[in-house]
Amino acid sequence: MDTEHAADLLRHLEKQSELLQDAHEKMSHELHRLQVEEEMLMRKFYELMSALDLTKKHKGGKFMRLSYHQL
């Protein structure tokens, strides 16, 4: 492989590396955002379940299956 092709290949690989690092950073940021959103939604869901007193409702040691009509 001559030096011209090697230099072109190196530039190409460096550009690909930059693009991959940028994509990784964006995906990591999005993952963190979604994890925070999931935690917030789970807390709100638990608050709702607590307000409806569904977190401790059980029958015979087993949690009851509630239909939408019971909610």
d(CA 39, CA 3): 53
User: pLDDT by residue (tens digit) across 47-71?
Assistant: 998 888 865 555 555 555 555 555 4
Domain count, the chain: 1
CA torsion 27-33-39-40 (nearest 10°) is -160
Confirm whether 31 is domain-assigned: yes
Confirm whether 55 is domain-assigned: yes
Confirm whether 69 is domain-assigned: no
Confirm whether 57 is domain-assigned: yes
Confirm whether 71 is domain-assigned: no
Show the tokens assigned to 43: 């807390």
Going along 1-71, which residue ranges are E strands? 58-59, 62-63
User: pLDDT by residue (tens digit) across 14-59?
Assistant: 999 999 999 999 999 999 999 999 999 999 999 998 888 865 555 5
Range of the domain at 39: 3-63
| β-sheet bridge partners, residue 63 | 58
60, amino acid identity: G
